[in-house]
Chains A and B, each alone.
Chain A
Amino acid sequence: MEGDARYRREPIGTHPRLDSPAYASTAKRAPRHAPVRIGQSLSEITGPRPCESVAPGEADLTRWDGGAAMGERIIVAGCVLDEDGRGVPRTLIEIWQANAAGRYRHDNDRHDAPLDPHFSGVGRIMSEANGAYRFMTIKPGAYPWGNHHNAWRPQHIHLSVFGPAFATRLITQMYFPGDPLLALDPIFNSVPDAAARDRLVAAFDIELTEPGRALGYRFDIVLRGRAATPAVN
Chain B
Amino acid sequence: MAPPRLTPVQTVGPFFGPALVRRELEQMVVAETRGTRITITGQICDGDGADVPDAMIEVWQANAEGRYDHPEDHQEKLLDPNFHGFGRFGTDANGRFRIVTIEPGAAPGPRTTLQAPHLNLSIFARGLLNRVVTRIYFPGVPLNETDEALNAVPADRRATLIATRDPAGALDSYRFDIFLQGARETVFFDI
Residues of A bordering B, CB below 8 Å: 1-2, 4, 10-11, 14-18, 20, 23, 25-50, 52, 81, 83-85, 94-96, 98, 104-106, 108-109, 120-123, 158, 160, 165-167, 169-173, 187-188, 190-191, 193, 195-197, 199-200, 220-225, 232-233
Number of interface residues of B (CB under 8 A): 73
- Which residue of A has the minimal Cβ distance to B67? A42
Whole-angstrom distance between the alpha carbons of A173 and B52 in the complex?
22
Contact check, B6 vs A43: say whether CB atoms are below 8 A apart.
no
State the majority secondary structure of interface residues on B.
loop
Q: Name the residue on B nearest A161 (C-beta).
A: B7
Q: Answer whether residue B108 sits at the interface, using C-beta atoms and an 8 A cutoff.
A: yes
* A36 with B190: CB separation less than 8 A: yes
Q: How far is the CB of B93 from chain A (nearest CB, A)?
A: 11
B190 to chain A, nearest CB (A): 4
CB distance from B157 to the nearest CB of A (A): 8
Q: Is B149 an interface residue (CB 8 A)?
A: yes
Main secondary structure of the interface of A (DSSP, over half): loop
- Do A83 and B8 have beta carbons less than 8 Å apart? no
Q: Are B16's CB and A96's CB within 8 A?
A: yes
Give CA–CA (A196, B20) in the complex, Å.
26
- Could you pull out 26 A-B pairs where Cβ atoms are within 8 angstroms? A1-B110, A16-B129, A29-B46, A29-B52, A29-B181, A32-B181, A35-B188, A36-B188, A37-B190, A38-B148, A40-B110, A47-B60, A52-B24, A83-B6, A84-B3, A106-B15, A121-B19, A160-B12, A160-B16, A165-B70, A165-B72, A169-B131, A170-B7, A187-B10, A223-B7, A224-B6
